[in-house]
Homo-oligomer: A and B are copies of this chain.
């Protein structure tokens, strides 16, 4: 038996699908590469995984140093290993996806280098590597997840109105929902509560602000939308 680390293994990387919600649209952070391969092409942010860090730590490192994002929702998505997915050689990528709330999104937008941009998921450019496939998998996961876990709140501010929440759901699910039925199902699920405040200063009737109540959270529900 040879020494342990002399085994020839594929290289290990992480790629990140960072979702944000702004201007009534779900969007993704893309990075314009300055180096080959795919020079000047758009890709997901990613990096190789070091010997001393976990996958999550590698993701946090990317989020922090490349994008200036901290303490946001992060989840492992899938591990991609198509043979020629990276022209440089054999690289296996453990893809993750992250959710950025509106508050943090706007706060960081200015700090970002001009080679990092938000793209609405409805208008994604050609992506390098197999990142189009990764992005599609992330969207599918998010679609499924939003129906049984309170993950959508990671994309909104602490306080949000029912119409705002509904528009988010519609963006992610890709179809429109009846206002009144949506409201009823969300309230029945029982993980939001009224704050008592209203969204004033608008043109129409003020909307009630709601709050994601972690104490009431059933941690497992099922929305039929």
The count of residues in chain A whose C-beta lies closer than 8 Å to any C-beta of chain B is 26
Is residue A114 contacting chain B, with contact meaning CB distance below 8 A?
Answer: no
Is residue A78 contacting chain B, with contact meaning CB distance below 8 A?
Answer: yes
Is residue A139 contacting chain B, with contact meaning CB distance below 8 A?
Answer: no
Q: How far is the CB of A221 from chain B (nearest CB, A)?
A: 13
Residues of B close to A61: CB separation below 8 A: none
Contact with B along A203-218 (1 / 0, CB 8 A): 0000000000000000
Is residue A117 contacting chain B, with contact meaning CB distance below 8 A?
Answer: no
Task: Kindly report which residue of chain B lies nearest to residue A89, judged by CB atoms.
Answer: B4
Say which residue of B5, B8, B55 sits within 8 Å of A50 (CB atoms): B8
Task: Kindly report which residue of chain B lies nearest to residue A86, judged by CB atoms.
Answer: B4
Cα A50 to Cα B8 with chains together (Å): 7
Is residue A71 contacting chain B, with contact meaning CB distance below 8 A?
Answer: no
Say which residue of B4, B5, B11, B79 sits within 8 Å of A7 (CB atoms): B11
Contact with B along A1-45 (1 / 0, CB 8 A): 000110111111000000000000000000000000000000000
Is residue A186 contacting chain B, with contact meaning CB distance below 8 A?
Answer: no
A8 touches B79 (CB 8 A): no
> Can you report 20 residue pairs joining A to B where beta carbons are below 8 Å apart?
A7-B48, A8-B50, A8-B51, A9-B9, A9-B10, A9-B11, A9-B12, A9-B48, A9-B51, A10-B49, A12-B12, A49-B92, A51-B90, A54-B81, A54-B82, A54-B83, A55-B81, A56-B81, A79-B94, A94-B94
A-B contact sample (13 more), CB < 8 A, given A9-B12, A55-B92: A7-B11, A9-B11, A9-B49, A10-B12, A10-B51, A12-B12, A54-B82, A54-B83, A55-B79, A55-B81, A56-B81, A76-B78, A81-B94
The interface of chain A, by Cβ under 8 A from chain B, is 4-5, 7-12, 48-51, 54-56, 76, 78-79, 81-83, 88-90, 92, 94
